[in-house]
Chains A and B, each alone.
Chain A
Amino acid sequence: MSALRRVSWDRIVPLLALATVVLGSFQHKKFLTDGNMTFLVQSIGEIGLIALSMTFLIICGEIDLSVSSIAALSSCMLGFTWQHTGSVWVSIVVAIVVGGLCGALNGWLVTGLGLQSLAVTIGTLALYRGLCYALLGDRRLKPFPAWFTSLNFRKVFGTWVPYVGVLVVVLAIAFGVVLHATPFGRRVFSIGQSKDAARFVGIPVGKVIFRLFVVNGLMSGLAGVVYTIRFASSRPDGAVGMELEVIAAALFAGVSIFGGVGTIWGVLSAVFFLGAIRSLLRLNSLSANELTIVTGSLLLCAVIVPAIGSRLSNRTRRASPPAAPAVSTPNRSDPGHQPQEKQHA
């Protein structure tokens, strides 16, 4: 009980990921092989990238459901620009910029017009996807050059690590530092705790949120580029449903949907954990139907377990008042304590 109380969920998730790798390596001899690990990292690359910026948004109490559509639109723009300019580099830049513009539109609708991000991004989810079809329809584009699509299979210095793995880790460190060790990161948590309080202490709430939407758009655009490389094609129906995988990973990592709580390492671990579980189950020949059930159950557990933990700790606190100060030490990045803080707020 006391362990549940002290060890917060975002610290459990990396352990879960590690345990999965260790147990998985005993359970199936093909699991911890170079080849499988390469595939595993490739399969979670795009989700990992978007999850980094999405974590910031959710901590702010906002959400962006349009990320998969942005990624698809970027991918389509990449193909479209490649078709017309013949330059892959120009196309990559255009793709990422388009992602940023999509994010900026989301951000403006939310902060400029004061609309709810959930409603806005349900709308732009459809809008951006529609633009994909308008742009490409069912036309076939000329194939991308081989050096570009083979980036997917290239590995770092002869190891099993694919390029996308390095990209995610480097960006994760950058996002982690900004969130957990800079004034900007503290502002993000403050906004998530209470927008009014944040405004009261002089934080430019709208500006911060707008920027986060733009960054989220850029990251989705980048994910779109990675996606295009991985599948060697631009398709209007690309990345469908990815927003749910991103948000699921964030919530699994204990990022509070109400804002104010979450960590980058937790989210990254959750992305890896969910990918590893799926890989292991697939190796064991579970069908896609069973996979869906397992993933859903895991997500429920991730919501239920910390909730039970905090209930228990609340009860303990009421039963033994002297313990209270230690438990309620404010730690805004600690999801395990989130419910109490919300109650006190």
Chain B
Amino acid sequence: MRKQYIRLATVGAVALLASAASSGTTPATTAGTTAATTAAAGTTAGTAAAIAPAAIKEGLTIAVIPKAINNAYFDAAYAGAQKACAAIKATCEQVGPTEATGAAQVEFINTEIQKGVNAIVISAADADSVAPSLQQAKAQGIAVVTYDADVNDTTARSAMIKPTTPDLIATSQDKWISDSIGPDGGEIAILSAAATAENQNAWIELMKADLAANYPKLTLVDVVYGDDDAAKSAEKAAALLQAHPNLKGIIAPTTVGVAAAAKYISGSEYKGKVQVTGLGLPSEMKAYLKDGTVKVVGLWDPGMLGYLGVYAAGIVASGGDVSTGINVDGTSYAADDKGVIVVGPPAEFTADNVDQFTF
């Protein structure tokens, strides 16, 4: 029963993961999707020196180990991994525990070591427990790459694929609200998760700084907290509209909040007058994008984590070096001095492209 609760919790955690960016980072383009997103990723990476594409051997076996299976977020990441595996002609398999603990993951890492896979791509359920096993894997010549969540002992892996950065999350949302409202600007408000939510608070600080520096016509008049509860978030959105009659837009940096606000506004007189944007799941936001309530929302695409993770693992398993970054499909992704490779800014979802995303 305990396991079942944990499983339920993990499934529920998808949304949480997405909104809280547990790994603290970023965005993504789906493997080989829109030109727009690819171009966006290209610009970020473009600042770094171009990285030459590395040769990858065919026929590698690669194990993808999520924090836990039965989790839509990681299934989406694995879908990306499978695309990459098909591209590099590798055999991919997703294995992992039903409960997201490092201890449970270790059993699977050990088994994969025994099977003699060429590479392990893993999202560490906790940053310490899996490190000794990953060190063992490395010692046996297995390529190790982390995605989504890293280990503290960064020598236990060759690279880490990080979805985005807090900075990119903040600046993207400011840009979206500015684009949605238009050049005249006006009053905006933020509808966050819990007042104590660390990730959201960090983003809000960055958003404030970015607004002050780059968007003189936007005035942030209020920050309210819906506690990631749909009903409470809708109430808070309604209260915002009452309290600030000149409000032009709401940013909700949480999947629950942005869906609740969009739902409320789509059924109210404010539809089309007050803009909503933030971090939202394409599956949940589709209706509001299509009915015009919301012009753009975004989120990192977990598929890109698996996609680049497999590429990086394939390069390492083929004897290549990823310490300065990787070049995939003609785009350079630079690594920092700790081997962290950032995918790019959050993917943007609009009425035109939302159907392409499956999460």
Q: Are A235 and B129 in contact (CB under 8 A)?
A: yes
Given the complex of chains A and B, what is the CA–CA distance between A72 and B189 in angstroms?
A: 44
Q: Tell which of A30, A36, A232, A283 touches B132, judged by Cβ atoms closer than 8 Å.
A: A232
Which residues of B are found within 8 Å of A143, using beta-carbon distances? 153
Which residues of B are found within 8 Å of A159, using beta-carbon distances? none
Q: Are A231 and B110 in contact (CB under 8 A)?
A: no
Contact A149/B96 with A30-B114, A30-B115, A235-B126 known, Cβ cut-off 8 Å = no
Q: Are B110 and A43 in contact (CB under 8 A)?
A: yes
Q: Are A232 and B128 in contact (CB under 8 A)?
A: yes
Report the minimal beta-carbon distance from B168 to chain A, rounded to whole angstroms: 25
Q: Which of B74-97 contact A (CB under 8 A)?
A: 93, 95-97
A15: Cβ under 8 A from any B Cβ: no
Q: Are A43 and B107 in contact (CB under 8 A)?
A: yes
Q: Are A231 and B132 in contact (CB under 8 A)?
A: yes
Q: Are B129 and A233 in contact (CB under 8 A)?
A: yes
User: Interface code B147-163, partner A: CB below 8 Å = 1, 0 otherwise?
Assistant: 00000110000000000
Which residues of A are found within 8 Å of B3, using beta-carbon distances? 241, 292
B308: Cβ under 8 A from any A Cβ: no
A289 nearest in chain B by CB position: B98
Q: Are A231 and B102 in contact (CB under 8 A)?
A: yes
A265: Cβ under 8 A from any B Cβ: no
Q: Are A39 and B96 in contact (CB under 8 A)?
A: no
Report the minimal beta-carbon distance from B24 to chain A, rounded to whole angstroms: 14
Q: Are A287 and B69 in contact (CB under 8 A)?
A: yes
Q: Are A39 and B110 in contact (CB under 8 A)?
A: yes
Q: Are A283 and B126 in contact (CB under 8 A)?
A: no
B70: Cβ under 8 A from any A Cβ: yes
Q: Are B98 and A244 in contact (CB under 8 A)?
A: no
A220: Cβ under 8 A from any B Cβ: no
Which residues of B are found within 8 Å of A289, using beta-carbon distances? 69-70, 98
Given the complex of chains A and B, what is the CA–CA distance between A12 and B132 in angstroms?
A: 36
Q: Are A279 and B111 in contact (CB under 8 A)?
A: yes
Q: Are B2 and A233 in contact (CB under 8 A)?
A: no
A280 nearest in chain B by CB position: B111
Q: Are A237 and B101 in contact (CB under 8 A)?
A: yes
Report the minimal beta-carbon distance from A65 to chain B, rounded to whole angstroms: 11
B113: Cβ under 8 A from any A Cβ: yes
B107 nearest in chain A by CB position: A43
B116: Cβ under 8 A from any A Cβ: yes
B97 nearest in chain A by CB position: A288
Given the complex of chains A and B, what is the CA–CA distance between A115 and B111 in angstroms?
A: 43
Which residues of A are found within 8 Å of B69, using beta-carbon distances? 287-289
A35: Cβ under 8 A from any B Cβ: yes
Contact A153/B136 with A233-B129, A238-B103 known, Cβ cut-off 8 Å = yes
User: Interface code B123-142, partner A: CB below 8 Å = 1, 0 otherwise?
Assistant: 00010111110001000000
Which residues of A are found within 8 Å of B96, using beta-carbon distances? 288
A282 nearest in chain B by CB position: B111
A152: Cβ under 8 A from any B Cβ: yes
Report the minimal beta-carbon distance from A297 to chain B, rounded to whole angstroms: 15
B252: Cβ under 8 A from any A Cβ: no
A343: Cβ under 8 A from any B Cβ: no
A37 nearest in chain B by CB position: B114
Given the complex of chains A and B, what is the CA–CA distance between A43 and B109 in angstroms?
A: 12
Q: Which of A7-60 contact B (CB under 8 A)?
A: 30, 33, 35-36, 39, 42-43
B174: Cβ under 8 A from any A Cβ: no
Q: Are B113 and A35 in contact (CB under 8 A)?
A: yes
Given the complex of chains A and B, what is the CA–CA distance between A235 and B113 in angstroms?
A: 25
Which residues of A are found within 8 Å of B70, using beta-carbon distances? 289
B227: Cβ under 8 A from any A Cβ: no
A323: Cβ under 8 A from any B Cβ: no
B215: Cβ under 8 A from any A Cβ: no
Q: Are B131 and A39 in contact (CB under 8 A)?
A: no
A279 nearest in chain B by CB position: B111
Q: Are B99 and A39 in contact (CB under 8 A)?
A: no
A239: Cβ under 8 A from any B Cβ: yes
Q: Are B93 and A241 in contact (CB under 8 A)?
A: no
**Which among A143, A152, A231 has the highest number of chain B CB atoms within 10 Å?**
A231
Contact A35/B114 with A233-B126, A244-B2, A282-B107 known, Cβ cut-off 8 Å = yes
Additional A-B contact list (10), CB under 8 Å, known A231-B129, A241-B3: A33-B114, A35-B113, A43-B107, A232-B131, A233-B129, A235-B102, A238-B103, A240-B6, A240-B99, A244-B2
- Which positions in B face A, CB cutoff 8 Å? 2-3, 6, 69-70, 93, 95-99, 101-104, 106-108, 110-111, 113-116, 126, 128-132, 136, 152-153
19 contacts between A and B (CB under 8 A): A30-B115, A36-B114, A39-B111, A231-B130, A231-B132, A233-B129, A235-B129, A237-B126, A238-B103, A240-B2, A240-B6, A241-B6, A244-B2, A278-B107, A282-B95, A283-B111, A283-B115, A285-B93, A287-B69
